[in-house]
């Protein structure tokens, strides 16, 4: 019997718990006799601590402990690199020495019997520094790019020579601001020790890695660490890694022998919990007059810290997005006196695709060819970078569906040719892409006597609806009604899952659940009818043979209409459409929600988001929700999301490609291209601000 649960627009199983407050987030797992920790952050951008005057603070009301490098326990910090940790360099060792590597680095911790007391003591703690001027700007003459240890340049043909000989050429540079994730829920950890066993309730997109990392830092067996995170109030990548505040909470709990709660402030979330790195890119395109590309050179540099090499796929998509015989991509890093960046929704691709899709749009005007037509003329038949076929590539279908839906044919080709009253109207489009990954995962399924089933995986749900969609996969596979299946996640003692990122949760965790469900049904077939409970655990990973034969990516076409006030320069997105080919859609309601959220993130990237560092001391100056702008309801227009029917038998047994990242990719270049169409002004720096429009 099939219930056909997959593909149904089922509302969130955890929706009621979330809106009634029953869903418990990390900071809500308060423990008896809990103490409160507050981090003291470095107020200089580089240097060392020469003195800490904690005598007065230690005597303040309620203060239990003041920890710094002077008295903090020396932690083993055994080698450990999870899949999401930078493979080159070494993580920050918190409170282990006197060095200040970046502004806002945690340099002390105050533990007190109440949050008020801890905050007051933290504010009163005097720390003396020997400060030097940090280098925090990637374009600073003192900032030197390096070749990353883990990254390969791509070369096919001779892009430089082909560029020199191209009849039509274009070279442009792009500058994308640093961004912070700014989820609603702050980072939070509550830690408690029972002897040598540590339990932490912690906001994490990767509970099994948090378990392994904390075990390595404290030099204890992983089975002694238990991480619990049933709910996440948004993360966008910032909770992939186990940052220093988790270590500090566990350290404080051990020193004080009490449960300790540590919640970061909004301002602290701009310091040491990662960010989308600022990037500088240059794209050179050479083309024939008919639009056929003859050369593509895409070079990009991202910022990283001095102590770790954070790499992302900044220029990678240029190797497969267009057909071109001569392609070179180069990726470099610029170490700065800053904390290590981390993946932020659509990492790499969101920034790199902005450059490529802006350049293609610019080329289309130089050639007087419709921007979508230009992409069609350069649509590859195979992945020319890897020289193998795509498992599926619905990009042109996405453009066709989108162009029809968005009224592309009504668009007048000339820039600055469309108006609505006084307002300049522009319509732009851009491609989106993101790899269809699958990582090893496992899952446990239990069939119970009452006819229900339980499914458990150490997965996460930061908002896409993992609870709901995984329940659908299990119900479908088991042939049970949706409400007879209960799915649990967010515990490190559940069967391990990969990080909740990279758009691979459904491909990875869903595949494992499916396999475990099939296994338990097989087991049931061998047993006397009705024997319960029955349990099965399955582990899955990508079929390496198939992966070797195909290039696997999701694709999309994104459209934007902007209205620009020619007098005062304000830019408003009036309409947006994303059309995606992302394989099978498990739940169209959740999928649309996830995509519109990603598109709004892309609007933020295009028009608002930037973390401004003060060059004098590296401080993030706008570390405040009133000053770090993100779209609010009034900025968010009519957003439409569509999925093209796509059956990709190669990516994984479920046929899913993932949606989280691709939904942000492509939105920013679609907007920038629309801004050009409206005004005739090409802006190659994000975010595009109204001040950029004032010379029009």
Q: Which residues carry out catalysis?
A: 661
Per-residue contact flags (x/-) with other proteins for residues 528 to 567, judged by CB under 8 A: -------------------------------------x-x
- In the complex, least distance from residue 140 CB atom to other proteins, rounded to whole angstroms: 16
* 82, 389, 440, 569: residue in contact with other proteins (rule CB under 8 A): 569
Q: Which of 608, 656, 659, 672 binds other proteins (CB under 8 A)?
A: 608
Report the residue number, 122 or 283, with the smaller CB distance to other proteins.
122
Q: Which is nearer to other proteins, 132 or 549 (CB)?
A: 132
| Distance in angstroms (rounded) separating the CA atoms of residues 220 and 202 | 18
Contact stretch for other proteins (CB under 8 A) within 25-33, 382-390, 615-623, 642-650: 615-623
Q: Select from 19, 58, 70, 123 the one that contacts other proteins (CB under 8 A).
A: 123
Q: Which two tokens stand for residue 542?
A: 């990508």
As a whole number of angstroms, the distance between CA 517 and CA 474 comes to 6
Nearer to other proteins, 146 or 621 (CB): 621
**Interface of this chain with other proteins, residues 14 to 43, rule: CB under 8 A:** 43
Pairwise CA distance, residues 31 & 249, whole Å: 13
Question: Residue 416, SS3?
Answer: coil
From residue 475, alpha-carbon distances to 15, 302, 485, 652 in Å are: 19, 44, 6, 18
Q: Quick one: which of 614, 642, 653, 682 contacts other proteins (CB under 8 A)?
A: 614
- Which CB atom, from 120 or from 446, has the smaller least distance to other proteins? 120
**How far is the C-alpha of 431 from the C-alpha of 433, rounded, in Å?**
7
The one among 622, 653, 681, 682 contacting other proteins by CB under 8 A: 622
Among 389, 612, 680, 681, which residue interacts with other proteins (rule: CB under 8 A)?
612
CB of 565 to other proteins, least distance (A): 8
Q: Give the Cβ contact number of residue 3 at 10 Å.
A: 16
Q: How far is the CB of 563 from other proteins (least distance, A)?
A: 11
Distance in Å, CB of 691 to other proteins, minimum? 4
Q: Strands across the sheet with 423-435, in order?
A: 418-420, 423-435, 553-564, 571-581, 638-643
Task: Name the residue among 654, 656, 655, 659 with its Cα closest to residue 641.
Answer: 659
Please say which residue, 493 or 614, places its beta carbon nearer to other proteins: 614
Looking up tokens 């409160």, which residue turns up? 36
Whether 540 contacts 506, CB under 8 Å: no
Out of 450, 568, 645, 647, which residue is the one contacting other proteins (CB under 8 A)? 568
Piece of 69-77, 338-346, 397-405, 608-616 that binds other proteins (CB under 8 A): 608-616
What does the per-residue mask of binding to other proteins show for 59-98, with x meaning CB under 8 A? ----------------------------------------
Distance CA 256, CA 401 (A): 61
Q: Tell me which stretch binds other proteins (CB under 8 A): 134-142, 317-325, 341-349, 605-613.
A: 605-613
The CA angle 269-275-281, to the nearest 5 degrees, is 155
Residue of the chain from 629, 642, 653, 682 that contacts other proteins (CB under 8 A): 629
Reply yes or no: is the peptide bond before residue 536 cis, omega within 30 of 0.
no
Residue 690 CB, nearest approach to other proteins (Å): 6
Binders in 660-689 for other proteins, by CB under 8 A? 687, 689
Interacting stretch for other proteins, rule CB under 8 A, among 143-151, 172-180, 604-612, 665-673?
A: 604-612
Q: Which is nearer to other proteins, 589 or 689 (CB)?
A: 689
The torsion region of residue 315 among left (phi > 0), alpha (psi -120 to 50) and beta comes to: alpha
632 binds other proteins (CB under 8 A): yes
**Is the CB of 418 or the CB of 623 nearer to other proteins?**
623
140 forms part of the interface with other proteins (CB under 8 A): no
Q: Cβ(203)–Cβ(189) under 8 Å?
A: yes
Distance CA 249, CA 610 (A): 30
Among the listed residues 391, 379, 587, 549, the one whose alpha carbon sits nearest the alpha carbon of residue 472: 587
Task: Please identify which residue in the block is written with the tokens 């006597």.
Answer: 449
To the nearest 10 degrees (0 to 180), the angle between helices 667-679 and 588-607 is: 50
Q: Which is nearer to other proteins, 389 or 569 (CB)?
A: 569
By CB under 8 A, the count of residues binding other proteins is 35
Candidates 224, 386, 570, 593; binder of other proteins (CB under 8 A) is 570
Q: Is 694 in the site for other proteins (CB under 8 A)?
A: yes
Q: Does 448 bind other proteins (CB under 8 A)?
A: no
**Which residues 6+ apart lie within 8 Å of 625 measured at CB?**
182, 266
**Which segment (68-76, 327-335, 387-395, 626-634) binds other proteins by CB under 8 A?**
626-634
Residue 134 in contact with other proteins, rule: CB under 8 A: no
Sort strands 126-131 and 225-228 into parallel, antiparallel or unpaired.
Answer: unpaired
- Cα(177)–Cα(172) distance, integer angstroms: 17
Q: CB of residue 570 vs other proteins: minimum separation in angstroms?
A: 6
Q: How far is CA 404 from CA 208, 557, 559, 577, 678, in A?
A: 45, 12, 11, 11, 20
User: Residue 275 interacts with other proteins (CB under 8 A)?
Assistant: no
Helix 349-367 vs helix 667-679: angle between axes, to the nearest 10 degrees?
30
Residue of 159, 607, 644, 675 that binds other proteins (CB under 8 A): 607
149, 153, 522, 627: which one binds other proteins (CB under 8 A): 627
Q: Is the dihedral of CA 619, 625, 627, 630 positive or negative?
A: positive
* Whole-number CA gyration radius for the chain: 26
Q: What is the DSSP string of 400-415?
A: HHHHHHHTGGGS-SST
Site for other proteins in 93-122 (CB under 8 A): 116, 119-120
Q: Which two tokens stand for residue 38?
A: 């507050």
- CA dist 86 and 75 (Å) reads 20
Would you tell me which residues interact with other proteins (CB under 8 A)?
43, 116, 119-120, 123, 565, 567-572, 607-608, 612, 614, 616, 619, 621-622, 624, 626-627, 629, 631-635, 687, 689-691, 694-695
């Amino acid at each position: 019997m099939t219930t056909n649960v997959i593909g149904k627009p089922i509302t969130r199983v955890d929706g009621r718990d979330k809106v009634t407050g029953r869903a418990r987030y990390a900071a809500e797992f308060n423990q008896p006799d809990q103490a409160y920790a507050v981090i003291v952050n470095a107020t200089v951008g580089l240097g060392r601590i020469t003195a800490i005057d904690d005598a007065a603070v230690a005597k303040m009301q309620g203060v239990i402990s003041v920890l710094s490098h002077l008295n903090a326990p020396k932690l083993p910090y055994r080698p450990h690199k999870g899949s999401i940790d930078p493979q080159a360099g070494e993580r920050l060792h918190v409170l282990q020495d006197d060095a200040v590597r970046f502004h806002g680095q945690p340099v002390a911790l105050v533990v007190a019997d109440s949050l008020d007391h801890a905050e007051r003591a933290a504010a009163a703690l005097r720390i003396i520094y020997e400060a030097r001027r940090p280098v925090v700007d990637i374009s600073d003459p003192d900032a030197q790019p390096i070749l990353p240890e883990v990254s390969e340049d791509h070369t096919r043909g001779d892009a430089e020579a082909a560029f020199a000989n191209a009849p039509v050429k274009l070279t442009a540079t792009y500058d994308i601001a640093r961004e912070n994730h700014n989820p609603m829920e702050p980072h939070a950890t509550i830690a408690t020790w029972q002897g040598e066993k540590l339990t932490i309730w912690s906001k994490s997109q990767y509970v099994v890695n948090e378990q392994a990392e904390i075990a390595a830092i404290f030099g204890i067996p992983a089975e002694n660490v238990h991480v619990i995170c049933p709910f996440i109030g948004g993360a966008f990548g910032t909770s992939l890694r186990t940052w220093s505040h988790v270590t500090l909470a566990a350290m404080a709990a051990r020193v004080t022998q009490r449960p300790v709660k540590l919640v970061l402030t909004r301002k602290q979330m701009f310091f040491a919990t990662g960010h989308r790195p600022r990037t500088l890119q240059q794209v050179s395109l050479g083309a024939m007059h008919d639009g056929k590309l003859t050369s593509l050179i895409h070079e990009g540099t991202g910022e990283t810290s001095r102590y770790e090499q954070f790499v992302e796929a900044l220029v990678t998509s240029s190797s497969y997005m267009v057909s071109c015989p001569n392609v070179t991509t180069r990726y470099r890093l610029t170490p700065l006196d800053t904390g290590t960046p981390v993946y932020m929704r659509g990492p790499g691709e969101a920034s790199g695709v902005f450059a490529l899709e802006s350049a293609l749009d610019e080329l289309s005007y130089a050639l007087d060819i419709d921007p979508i037509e230009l992409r069609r003329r350069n649509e590859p038949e195979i992945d020319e970078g890897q020289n193998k076929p795509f498992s599926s590539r619905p990009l042109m279908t996405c453009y066709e569906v989108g162009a029809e839906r968005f009224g592309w044919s009504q668009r007048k080709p000339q820039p600055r040719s469309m108006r609505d009253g006084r307002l300049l109207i522009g319509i732009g489009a851009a491609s989106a892409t993101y790899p269809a990954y699958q990582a090893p995962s496992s899952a446990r399924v239990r069939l119970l006597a009452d006819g229900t089933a339980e499914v458990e995986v150490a997965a996460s749900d930061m908002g896409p609806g993992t609870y709901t969609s995984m329940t659908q996969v299990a119900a479908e596979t088991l042939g049970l009604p949706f409400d007879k299946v209960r799915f649990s996640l967010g515990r490190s003692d559940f069967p391990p899952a990969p990080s909740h990122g990279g758009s691979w949760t459904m491909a990875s965790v869903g595949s494992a659940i499916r396999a475990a469900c099939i296994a338990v049904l097989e087991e049931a077939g061998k047993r006397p009818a009705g024997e319960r409970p029955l349990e099965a655990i399955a582990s899955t990973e990508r079929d390496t043979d198939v992966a070797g034969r195909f290039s696997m990516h999701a694709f999309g076409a994104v459209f934007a209409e902007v209205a620009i006030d020619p007098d005062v320069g304000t830019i408003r997105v009036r309409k947006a459409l994303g059309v995606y080919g992302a394989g099978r859609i498990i739940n169209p309601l959740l999928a649309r929600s996830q995509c519109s959220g990603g598109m709004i993130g892309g609007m933020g990237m295009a028009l608002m988001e930037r973390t401004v560092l003060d060059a004098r001391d590296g401080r993030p100056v706008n570390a405040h929700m009133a000053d770090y702008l993100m779209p609010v309801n009034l900025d968010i227009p009519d957003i439409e999301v569509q999925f093209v029917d796509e059956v990709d038998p190669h990516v994984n047994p479920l046929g899913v490609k993932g949606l989280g990242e691709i939904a942000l990719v492509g939105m920013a270049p679609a907007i920038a291209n629309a801004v050009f169409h409206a005004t005739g002004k090409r802006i190659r720096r994000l975010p595009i601000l109204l001040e950029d429009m004032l010379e029009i």
